[in-house]
Each structure stands twice: as structure tokens, then as C-alpha cells.
């Protein structure tokens, strides 16, 4: 087993098989059948995507990579999402709108970070001749 | 300091997650001590009945959502890239965000103590209709639900990152069947996190909507959604610690892990069955096919037995080093056996009807999660502390720590089996004097004190370790098997300066034994000549 897709495909199929067994032999209700087979199907899809990804973009040793050291923007987005959730569910606009502000500011920061990261990677690839 | 809070290095994120979990562990431990003080003798001495309900809800939910699951995932996040020879984790921002979501979720959950009606108090399962607004009014319960949703989303983010890292960032030569045992247990845990945990987000989202009169949820459907998360969560809190125990057993006995392929197959079967056993928590509802879930729950003993056998066979005839980590390995093997076997009893619907909502269940899950998983965690911590910090933990304090936890956990949880069998129901703040349960409850409370002492001692040992110089070499025990022992202790930001070739699941063992001169082949025996 050189690739991870086999484990995922096999495991997802096992869940679907148990769900089928439950429905046909034990009269499992629709919701639990859906939960189990849905999880299995999702795993099979991820396994298939992994297989496609392995074929299209095989892992190459020594390929230039960027090591992200820190990300303030991600923390701002996470804090914003927290404020939005607590604001929407409990406190109200007093937290909701500042949360939206945090989300927007964080998203802007993320775009800047991703651009800088892409630029670095491009320069590194040029430098290594790939 | 600020860089430590903002760092996206998987090792720093994992240590941060572990530190936050340790703080919540201290909080949950204090709640447990108050609970045990209240139960030490009949009558209400310390808290009211309502206060007791808040305490056990917050203790249980903190331990599960904010301590054991985060620690299990933090271990995966730290070790997996090192074990598979990767410079980083896939999607570092997602892992970073996941860790902060868990931390902020914990704060939101605990903010309920500041509200007038108090925090969440409907149990860690928040059963519907008990958790609806009329039965549990106030914003504390809403904060509890929001906090649990955030912590679970955080777990999903980290789980997805670790899973993607295993699938896409393995070093050259690191095929799936060369993954170290811990990485396989991490993969199993992350499968459960990614494919089972979303159902809790849905369940708690529906609950929140129901509390605000947006819709109505069918209680049995809610239980399905909850336990579809809740039962796999138990294995997320178990598999990484089995992996740590397996690594400790292999490293400290100087032997390659026994029965690797059987272990991997058993682990995948274990994971699939554990996803399919959730409704054994619902036997007494009468709304599930008990025979199916009894079958899947009982079948779990087969892969569990294979894993046990593999760990014991690894130790068998090995050059065992009886340090603290190894003591915790043996503690785990013995105590988890009690938890696991009592689980097989309650997997039988007939016995489950007897044990339902009694202290037998409390004893069972504390034997699995505390007396079992926590011992596995400590085996891993004592093994990997030199890798994390470059420093060793004190062996002398470690042995006392082990003894205190061993006595404490058995003194606390063993009497609960008897109490449950005699009819003591869980979640009760008081019991009648005439019940005769006072002595066993007192013993249980004294045991909790031993656990608290052991935990304080471990905290002291950790603090003292930072006063020592960094002396741990890359292979801190000299018998490391997998790639994490090939890099410096602690590892550099890029994890590795150079990687040894990977030709099996124990590349360092291969490298050590390749250096040794091969023994000469035996001399040919003369044939047909008799002396």
C-alpha cells in the first residue's frame, strides 16, 4: 500500500457495508443508515480525490516549499468568527458587528499573506530552476 | 512571547494546544474534587443539587471537549509530521485556527459561570428536551453549546490537517505500510474526527435553534446525531494513546513493533466498528435495533485483542528498560483492560438495562478514559518529553507520580462498580444514610485526593525539568525506531536537516543494525560422517 487512498476507499466501503447490513438484516431506521453510509460515502470521495491528486501532482522530494512562521490574520479571522457566533446566538449586535469587522479585516490580511507566500514560492522555484 | 502565540509551526501549535488543555484539566480537576467532596458522606454539605448538576456537566464537558480530545489531537499534530519525515503540516493556518477555536471555545463555555443562571447544566450530552429553554433557561447553556461547537470545529480543522499531511506529505520511501504505529493511530483518529464529528456540530446547531424557538428537534434523532459523534469521540481519546504506548513499548524494549500489518488491519477494522456502535448508548430508548449495535459493540473486542496482543508480544523477551514511561505502559495495559472488559459487559443489552444510568457506567468510562487513556498519555509524555524540550523528566518523581496515580485511580473508580451494582444512580448529589454507600464513597473521594497529589507532583516535575540543561540527544533513549528520533531535540523549525533512508516502519532500527557487522554464516556441517 504505497498510497493512502486504498485505506480511505476500504474504510469508507466498510462503513457503507455495515450500513447496508443494518438496513437489510436488522431494520435500521433511515437517519442512522444515512449517518453511517453518508460518512462512508464521504470517505470514499476523499479517497478518490486523494488518488486523483496523487496522479496529477505526485509528491516530489526537494520541491521548494514555504514554511509559514506565523499568521496574525488567521487569529483575527478566528476571533471574528467567535464573536459572530456568540453575538448571533446570545449577545446580539453588540458582538455580532464587531465580529463581522474582525472577519473582514482578517480576510484582508489573509489575502495579503497568501499573495506574499505565492510570491516567495515563485521566486524560490525560479531560483531552483523548477 | 507574541510569536509563540501567533506561530503556525505545527510543533508550537501542538504545545500551545497541550498547554491550554492542561489549564482546563486543572479546572476540571478542581470541579471533580468538589464533586467527590460532596459525595464523601451522605447529605448535602458543599453544594446545592443545582450546583452539583452544573459541576458534573462542566467537569465532563471540559474533560472531553477541552482536555482529552485536544491533547490527543495535539499529540498527532506534533508527532505525525516528524514521524513521516515532513517539514510541515498540510494547511498550517487551519491547524492554527483549530487550536485557537478550541481555546476560545473553552473560554466561551466557561464564561457561563459568569451568568446569573450559571453555566451549562444538562450533562455533556445535553439531551433534548432537558436542554431546551424551558428546562434549562439562561444564556449559560447557550454559551456552553457555542463553546462546544467551536471546540469541535477546531478539532475537525486539526484532524483534517493531520489526515491530509499523512496522505500528501510523506517523505520519499515512506509508503503507507511504512508509517510508524503512532501515525497509523493518528490516521484512525483523524478519520473519526473528520467523518463523525460534523454530526455534533449539526446536533448542537439544531439545539441552539430549538432553544431560540426556530424549530423543534425529535429527541431520538438528536440522540442519534449526538452519539454518532459521542461514541467515535471515545476512540479519538483512545487511539493516539494506544499509539504512544506502542511506541514506548517498542522504543524502551529495543524491539521492532510486533505484528505490524495485523495491527494496521485491526486498527482499521476497530475504527470502522467504532463508527458503527454508537447506538449502544441508546439501548434503553427502545428506538434502535439492539441486536445490531450489540453485535458491532461486542465485535470490537477482536481488533482490540489483536492490538493488545501485539503490544505484549513487542515487550515479550525485549530488553525492557523499567523507567517511568514503561511503568505507565504497564499501568495502561492493566487498567484499560478493566475499562475495555467492562465495556463488553455493557455492550450486552440485557446487562446494559441493569447498568443504565448507574455508577457502573461512570466506573467504566473513567477506567477507559482516565485510568486507561491518561496512563497512555503519561507513557507518551515521559517518552517524548526529551524530544519536546531537550530535557528529561525526573525519574524519581516520575515513579512516585506513577504510584500515586495507580493507587488514586483504582481507589477512586473501583468502588464505583460496586456502588453501581448496588443501585447508586449517577448524577445524584446525595444518597440516603441507610444505603450503606458511605464507606465506598469515602474511599472513592480519598482516591481523588491521591490523583490530585499525583497531578501536582507531575506539574512540579515539569517545572523542575526546565531548570535542567538541555542534554537530550536526537535519539533520546538510544533505541528510537522512527524518524522523530533522527532529528535534534527539540526539532528545528523545518523539522529535519537530513533524513535517513526509509525502507521499513522502523528506519532508525534499520540504520543501527546496518552498521553492526553481520554475523558469519554457520559453518557447513559435514554430511554423512559420524565421529
DSSP string, B113-147: GGSTT-S--STTTT-TTTTSTTTS-SHHHHHHHHH
For residue B193, give the chain A residue with the closest CA.
A39
Does A29 contact chain B (CB < 8 Å)? yes
Sign of the alpha-carbon dihedral angle for A26, A31, A34, A36: negative
**Measured distance CA(B397)–CA(B394) in Å, rounded:** 5
Nearest chain B Cα to A41, which residue? B195
- Report pLDDT digits (tens) over A71-101: 999 999 999 999 999 999 999 999 999 999 9
Rounded Cα–Cα distance for residues B5 and B1 (Å): 7
How far apart CA B37 and CA A92 sit, in angstroms, is 39
Look at residue A126 in the predicted model and tell me its pLDDT.
81
Q: What is the DSSP string of B235-286?
A: HHTTHHHHHHHHHHHHHHHT-PPTTHHHHHHHHHHHHHHHHT-GGGGGGGGT
- pLDDT-based confidence at residue A108 (cuts at 50, 70, 90): very high
In angstroms, the CA B487 to CA B171 distance is: 14
Identify from A82, A102, A114 which residue to disrupt to test chain B contact, counting B C-beta atoms within 10 A and taking the largest count. Answer: A82
d(CA B417, nearest CA chain A) in Å: 31
Question: Lowest mean pLDDT: which of A1-5, A15-19, A87-91, B220-224?
Answer: A1-5
**Which neighbouring-strand residues pair with A70?**
B7
Å from B330 to nearest chain A CA? Answer: 31
pLDDT at B4: 84
Residues of chain A neighbouring B9 (CB-CB closer than 8 A): 67, 69
Query: What b/e readout covers B25-37, taking b as 16+ CB neighbours within 10 angstroms?
Result: bebbbebbbbbbe
Range with lowest mean pLDDT among A117-121, A125-129, B47-51, B119-123: A125-129
CA distance A105 to chain B (A): 16
- Give the mutation candidate from B276, B278, B286, B504 for the A interface (greatest A CB count, under 10 A): B276
pLDDT on residue B2 = 76
* pLDDT, position A128: 67
Question: How many CB contacts within 8 angstroms connect chain A with chain B?
Answer: 143
What would the pLDDT profile of A40-54 be if each residue is shown by its tens digit?
A: 999 999 999 999 988
pTM (2 decimals)?
0.95
Residue B118 contacts residue B164 (beta carbons within 8 Å)? no
Contact B27, B66 (CB under 8 A): no
Alpha-carbon gap, residue B78 to B81, rounded angstroms: 7
Q: What is the DSSP secondary structure assignment for residue A1, as one 8-state letter?
A: -
- Whether residues B176 and A14 touch (CB distance < 8 A) is answered with no
Q: What is the pLDDT of residue B518?
A: 58
Decide if the complex's ipTM is over 0.90: yes
Residues in chain A closer than 8 A to B233 (CB atoms):
none
Residue written as grid cell 466501503? A13
pLDDT at A2: 63
Give me the pLDDT at residue B429, please: 95
Partner B contacted by A23 (CB < 8 A): no
Tell me which long-range contacts B385-388 makes (C-beta under 8 A, separation of at least 24).
B385/B465, B386/B472, B386/B476, B386/B477, B386/B489, B387/B82, B387/B472, B387/B476, B387/B484, B387/B485, B387/B489, B387/B490, B387/B491, B388/B15, B388/B78, B388/B489, B388/B490
In A58-117, the residues whose Cβ lies within 8 Å of chain B are 59, 61, 65, 67-72, 74-75, 77-79, 81-82, 85-86, 89-90, 110
Pick from B6, B143, B272: CB nearest A11: B272
The C-alpha cell that represents B202 in the structure block: 449539526
**10 Å Cβ neighbour count for A52?**
11
pLDDT at residue number B530: 43
* SS3 (DSSP) at B494: coil
- Name beta bridge partners: B7: A70
Contact B77, B95 (CB under 8 A): yes
Higher pLDDT, B517 or A117: A117
Q: Is B358 helix (H, G, I), strand (E, B) or coil?
A: strand
Max Cα–Cα distance, chain A, nearest Å: 63
> Is any Cβ of chain B less than 8 angstroms from the Cβ of A56?
no
Q: What is the mean pLDDT of each run of 10 residues along chain B (531 residues)?
A: 88 97 98 98 95 97 98 98 95 97 98 95 94 94 97 98 95 94 98 98 96 94 97 96 97 96 96 96 95 96 95 94 96 93 92 94 95 94 97 97 97 97 94 95 98 98 93 95 96 93 93 71 51 37
Q: What is the pLDDT of residue B531?
A: 37
Cell of B205: 446547531
CA–centroid distance for B333 within its chain: 14
Q: Pick from B34, B96, B37, B28: which is nearest to B63 by CA?
A: B28
Helix and strand numbers (H, E) in chain A are 4, 0
Chain B residue numbers with beta carbons less than 8 Å from the beta carbon of A70 are 3, 6-8
Distance CA B99, CA B400 (A): 32
- The closest alpha carbon to B441, from B357, B336, B335, B359, belongs to B359
Q: With an 8 Å Cβ cutoff, are A29 and B287 in contact?
A: yes
User: Cell numbers 532508525 correspond to what residue?
Assistant: B508
Tell me how far the alpha carbon of residue B70 is from its chain's centroid: 9
SS3 content of chain B, % helix, strand, coil (to 5): 70, 0, 30
A25: which chain B residues are within 8 Å (Cβ-Cβ)? 292
Amino acid at each position: 500500500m504505497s498510497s493512502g487512498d486504498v485505506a480511505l476507499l476500504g474504510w469508507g466501503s466498510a462503513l457503507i457495508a455495515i450500513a447496508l447490513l443494518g438496513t437489510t438484516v436488522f431494520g435500521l431506521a433511515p437517519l442512522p443508515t444515512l449517518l453511517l453510509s453518508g460518512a462512508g460515502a464521504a470517505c470514499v470521495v476523499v479517497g478518490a480525490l486523494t488518488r486523483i491528486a496523487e496522479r496529477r501532482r505526485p509528491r516530489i522530494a526537494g520541491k521548494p516549499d514555504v514554511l509559514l512562521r506565523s499568521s496574525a490574520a488567521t487569529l483575527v479571522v478566528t476571533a471574528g468568527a467567535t464573536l459572530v457566533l456568540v453575538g448571533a446566538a446570545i449577545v446580539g449586535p453588540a458582538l455580532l458587528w464587531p465580529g463581522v469587522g474582525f472577519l473582514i479585516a482578517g480576510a484582508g490580511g489573509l489575502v495579503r499573506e497568501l499573495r506574499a507566500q505565492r510570491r516567495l514560492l515563485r521566486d524560490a522555484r525560479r531560483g531552483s530552476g523548477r | 512571547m507574541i510569536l509563540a502565540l501567533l506561530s503556525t509551526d505545527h510543533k508550537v501549535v501542538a504545545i500551545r494546544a497541550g498547554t491550554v488543555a492542561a489549564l482546563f484539566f486543572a479546572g476540571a480537576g478542581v470541579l471533580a474534587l468538589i464533586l467527590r467532596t460532596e459525595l464523601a458522606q451522605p447529605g448535602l454539605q458543599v453544594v446545592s443539587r443545582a450546583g452539583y448538576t452544573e459541576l458534573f456537566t462542566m467537569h465532563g464537558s471540559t474533560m472531553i471537549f477541552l482536555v482529552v480530545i485536544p491533547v490527543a489531537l495535539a499529540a498527532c499534530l506534533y508527532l505525525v509530521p516528524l514521524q513521516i519525515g515532513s517539514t510541515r503540516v498540510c494547511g498550517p493556518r487551519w491547524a492554527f485556527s483549530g487550536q485557537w477555536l478550541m481555546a476560545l471555545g473553552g473560554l466561551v463555555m466557561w464564561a457561563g459561570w459568569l451568568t446569573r443562571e450559571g453555566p451549562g447544566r444538562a450533562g455533556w450530552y445535553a439531551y433534548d428536551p432537558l436542554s431546551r429553554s424551558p428546562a434549562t433557561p439562561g444564556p449559560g447553556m447557550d454559551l456552553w453549546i457555542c463553546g462546544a461547537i467551536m471546540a469541535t470545529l477546531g478539532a475537525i480543522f486539526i484532524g483534517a490537517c493531520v489526515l491530509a499531511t499523512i496522505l500528501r506529505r510523506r517523505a520519499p520511501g515512506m509508503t503507507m505500510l511504512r508509517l510508524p504505529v503512532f501515525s497509523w493511530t493518528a490516521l484512525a483518529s483523524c478519520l473519526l474526527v473528520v467523518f463523525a464529528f460534523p454530526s455534533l456540530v449539526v446536533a448542537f446547531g439544531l439545539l441552539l435553534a430549538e432553544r431560540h424557538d426556530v424549530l423543534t428537534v425529535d429527541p431520538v434523532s438528536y440522540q442519534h446525531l449526538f452519539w454518532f459523534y459521542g461514541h467515535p469521540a471515545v476512540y479519538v481519546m483512545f487511539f493516539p494513546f494506544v499509539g504512544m504506548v506502542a511506541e514506548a513499548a517498542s522504543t524502551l524494549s529495543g524491539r521492532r513493533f510486533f505484528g505490524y500489518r495485523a495491527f494496521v488491519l485491526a486498527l482499521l477494522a476497530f475504527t470502522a466498528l467504532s463508527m458503527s456502535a454508537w447506538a449502544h448508548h441508546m439501548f434503553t430508548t427502545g428506538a434502535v435495533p439492539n441486536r445490531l449495535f450489540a453485535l458491532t459493540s461486542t465485535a470490537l473486542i477482536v481488533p482490540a485483542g489483536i492490538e493488545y496482543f501485539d503490544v505484549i508480544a513487542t515487550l515479550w523477551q525485549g530488553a525492557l528498560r523499567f523507567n517511568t514511561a514503561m511503568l505507565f505502559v504497564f499501568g495502561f495495559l492493566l487498567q484499560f483492560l478493566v475499562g475495555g472488559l467492562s465495556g463488553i459487559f455493557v455492550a450486552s443489552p440485557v446487562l446494559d438495562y441493569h447498568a443504565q444510568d448507574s455508577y457502573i457506567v461512570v466506573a467504566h468510562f473513567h477506567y477507559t478514559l482516565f485510568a486507561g487513556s491518561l496512563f497512555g498519555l503519561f507513557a507518551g509524555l515521559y517518552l517524548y518529553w526529551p524530544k519536546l524540550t531537550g530535557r528529561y523528566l525526573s525519574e524519581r518523581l516520575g515513579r512516585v507520580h506513577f504510584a500515586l496515580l495507580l493507587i488514586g485511580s483504582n481507589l477512586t473508580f473501583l468502588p464505583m462498580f460496586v456502588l453501581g451494582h448496588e443501585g447508586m444512580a449517577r448524577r445524584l448529589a446525595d444518597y440516603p444514610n441507610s444505603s450503606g454507600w458511605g464507606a465506598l464513597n469515602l474511599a472513592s473521594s480519598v482516591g481523588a485526593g491521591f490523583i490530585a497529589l499525583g497531578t501536582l507532583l507531575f506539574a512540579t516535575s515539569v517545572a523542575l525539568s526546565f531548570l535542567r540543561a538541555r542534554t537530550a540527544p536526537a535519539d533520546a533513549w538510544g533505541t528510537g525506531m522512527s524518524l522523530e528520533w533522527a532529528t535534534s531535540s527539540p526539532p528545528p523549525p523545518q523539522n529535519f536537516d537530513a533524513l535517513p533512508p526509509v525502507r521499513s516502519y522502523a528506519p532508525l532500527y534499520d540504520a543501527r543494525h546496518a552498521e553492526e557487522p553481520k554475523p558469519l554464516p554457520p559453518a557447513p556441517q559435514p554430511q554423512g560422517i559420524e565421529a
